Amino acid sequence: MHATLSHAFSWVCGQDPAHTWTCDGLVLPCCQRCTGLYLGALAAFILQSLLRPSMNRNFLWVHGMFLMLMVPFGFHWLPQGPLLRSWTGVLFGFAVVTFLRLPLVRETGCLEIAGSRTKRAARYWAGLAAMLAGLAALDFEAARISGPLVAVLLACGALVLWTLAAANVWVGARWLSGHIRPTIERAGV
């Protein structure tokens, strides 16, 4: 299974051995930044699905800034170590999930759930902070956590991103077909 995951992640990750965590003796199938990205995407999807924070202007602005962080860090314009690579990956994962979920949330109309917006937002941000703190506290190299378990979590995060991307293609195709069909009918084609 690990060889299959390593091969699958090789399509989207450089898998630089100097920038890859080893977990209980097993080299993870993707680099530290991608580890953060996929774990962050999985955590963001779970938090957003359970808490449904209000995707207001401020929420989207902050997540847009998370996307922009990838420019200086992703292009290695700033010095960074393993933890910073993982943290920027987590923030990028949270942002990507947010913007991939946005059209789907609007399509289904489930923007809000009952409950205090403030409490849900606080829980969401606490979840993000816990994710970052957890990565800081967890020394992948020394931890006795299961390497295959982390690899499966990474695969789940990748599956979340692929599923959200495919759903966005479907929503986009529906929108496009709804706008093209009337134009074609009016033209008499």
For every one of its 189 residues, what pLDDT tens digit does the chain have, with 9 covering 90 and above? 667 776 677 787 777 877 887 777 777 888 888 889 999 999 999 999 999 888 889 999 999 999 999 999 888 898 888 889 999 999 999 999 999 998 887 766 555 554 577 888 899 999 999 999 988 877 666 666 677 778 888 999 999 999 999 999 998 888 888 877 776 667 665
What's residue 109's pLDDT?
58
**Structural domain boundaries of the chain?**
2-163
What's residue 7's pLDDT?
67
What's residue 114's pLDDT?
46
Q: CB of 92 within 8 A of CB of 66?
A: yes
DSSP character string of 46-109: HHHHHH-----HHHHHHHHHHHHHHHHHHTT-S---HHHHHHHHHHHHHHHHHHHHHHHHHHHT
For residue 12, give the H/E element and its range: none
Q: Classify residue 178 by its DSSP letter.
A: H
What's residue 12's pLDDT?
75
Distances (CA, A) of 150 to 59, 71, 142: 29, 27, 14
CA 74 to chain centroid: 15
Please name the residues in contact with 68: beta carbons below 8 A apart, sequence gap of 6 or more. Answer: none
